[in-house]
Amino acid sequence: MHDANLLVAILRGITPAEAEGHLGALIDEGFRYLEIPLNSPDWQRSIPQMVRRFGDRAVIGGGTVLNVDQVEVLAQAGATLVVTPNTHPPVIRRAAAQGMRVCAGCATVTEAFAALEAGAQWLKIFPASAFGPAYISALRAVLPPAVPVLAVGGVTPENLRDYLNAGCRGAGLGSELYRAGQGVEVTRRQARRFMAALGHPVVPD
């Protein structure tokens, strides 16, 4: 997958019955990274179903991953993305050992380097809205240049460019993109707004 700019769709609260319609719409609009948080209803069904349906077109995985057992379930489901809300080295190490892409949540330089040492390939600054682009720019200055940093939490089509200008490679998009229970056309419309703010689509290699 092309990593020039990374937008990760966070589909918190989606159900197995809803997942195909929303993920299909997001992929059609250019999203290539899709996360179903593990506090969503019946994620153990949704994620493997979506991997089977769309795994050849997108990187699909789980978010809010808190323990090694969840990593194992995701690996068995064929998920290729693990997103954590925190810096928990055992989870990061296990997911990396399974060959999964790990986006680890962090807020400080210490947490960021602990996540990288454990094997995380991406870092997410959460909650980005509480820190702001200036903080992320300062953090970015001391991190390895090749490591993608994503802003997560409070990112909108209106402020996405501010985070990109601060050195983020992309963002994780939650309630501004998808809210549990909304219609597929709402998801499609919001996806288009974010893609327009990005300036170009995220496309596969």
Catalytic residues: 35, 124
DSSP 115-158: HHHHT-SEEEETTHHHHHHHHHHHHHHHS-TTS-EEEESS--TT
Q: Are 47 and 77 in contact (CB under 8 A)?
A: yes
CB contact set of 145 (below 8 Å; sequence gap of 6+): none
DSSP 148-167: -EEEESS--TTTHHHHHHTT
The single-letter code of the amino acid at 184 is: V
The CA-to-CA distance between both ends of the chain, in Å, stands at 5
Q: Are 83 and 172 in contact (CB under 8 A)?
A: yes
- 43-54 helix and 68-77 helix, angle to the nearest 10 degrees: 40
| Token code pair at residue 153 | 């939490």
